[in-house]
Amino acid sequence: MPPNSDYRVAAIRASTVLTGSYVAGTLLRDDISKYNQLVVLVDITLGSLTSAEVRVEFSLDNVRWFQKPFQLVISSTQASVSSGEYTFTVDGLYPMDFPIAYNFIRISAKGTGTVTNSLMQVDAILARV
């Protein structure tokens, strides 16, 4: 699909070695409210890592950040939410799709274990469908 006003690709994180703490890539913020779909493209080489993790967060005001939960169970007495962190244990190319209605998007990554020979690149596609 050729780039136009309904489609944009953004480099979030160049292919670099991971660290043991979350590091945020480029913040998506300029004119993203006109898009309603986000595809995060993760290219991971684990090297000596046990796993790699990616966190995708959304905000309306660039102050309060929300993670999309994987599971939300609400009963009359309690709520249970699974963390919105994606864990990778195998090298590969992984797309992750999200509907969006936010003004800011922050994507962070970290490694667990020994970071030797690990690499991760993250790109994002914003689209209006």
User: Rounded to an integer, what distance in angstroms lies between the CA atom of residue 98 and that of residue 34?
Assistant: 15
- Residue-by-residue pLDDT tens, the chain, 129 positions: 445 568 899 999 999 999 999 999 999 887 888 899 999 999 999 999 999 999 999 999 999 999 877 655 556 666 666 677 888 999 999 999 999 999 999 999 999 999 899 999 999 999 998
Report the domain count for the chain: 1
Nearest to 111, CA basis, from 23, 43, 14:
23
Instruction: State the residue range of the domain holding 82.
Output: 7-127
Residue 1 inside a domain? The answer is no
pTM, two decimal places: 0.86
Whichever domain contains 12, its CATH number is 2.60.120.380
> What 3 state SS string does 27-48 have?
CECCCHHHCCEEEEEEEEECCC
On the CB side of 76, how many CA atoms lie within 13 Å of its CA? 0
CA distance 67 to 82: 10
Q: Is residue 2 part of a domain?
A: no
Amino acid, single-letter form, for residue 35: Y
